[in-house]
Amino acid sequence: VFNYLPVKVGDTFTNAKSEEIIKTLYATGFFDDVRVETMGDQVLLTVVERPTISTLNISGAKMLPSNAIQQNFAAMGLAQSQPFSQATLNQA
């Protein structure tokens, strides 16, 4: 998470920075929820990660080889070790 943050320790924190953090973290595609709160001089980030695809099994494919189907899914963002997106699956 820290690698994606557009702020560093010691930066002045504003509402605009809070919005930038939220937009930046959502843009990674790794999170379903991102919240930013301040507690005194501390910033608290709460994130909910998207589940990760562990395996992609193709069964019943007769016209196309399984690896061709997997390549097409991968091109859409549905591949092993990638964050799962129900919206992407619905488009497939």
Number of domains within the chain = 2
Do 58 and 38 share a structural domain? Answer: no
Range of the domain at 45: 2-49
What DSSP assignment string belongs to 72-92?
HHHHTT--TTSBP-HHHHHH-
Residue with tokens 């709460």: 46
What pLDDT shows up at residue 21? 95
Pair (79, 92) in one structural domain: yes
CATH number at residue 10: 3.10.20.310
Say whether both 69 and 83 belong to one domain.
yes
pLDDT in tens, 47-69: 999 998 888 888 887 888 888 88
- 37 and 11 share one domain: yes
Return the ∠ at Cα 63 (arms to 69 and 89), rounded to 5°.
30
pLDDT of the residue at 18: 94
Cα separation, 18 vs 36, whole angstroms: 6
Per-residue pLDDT at 92 exceeds 80 = no
C-alpha to C-alpha distance for 14 and 6, rounded to whole angstroms: 12
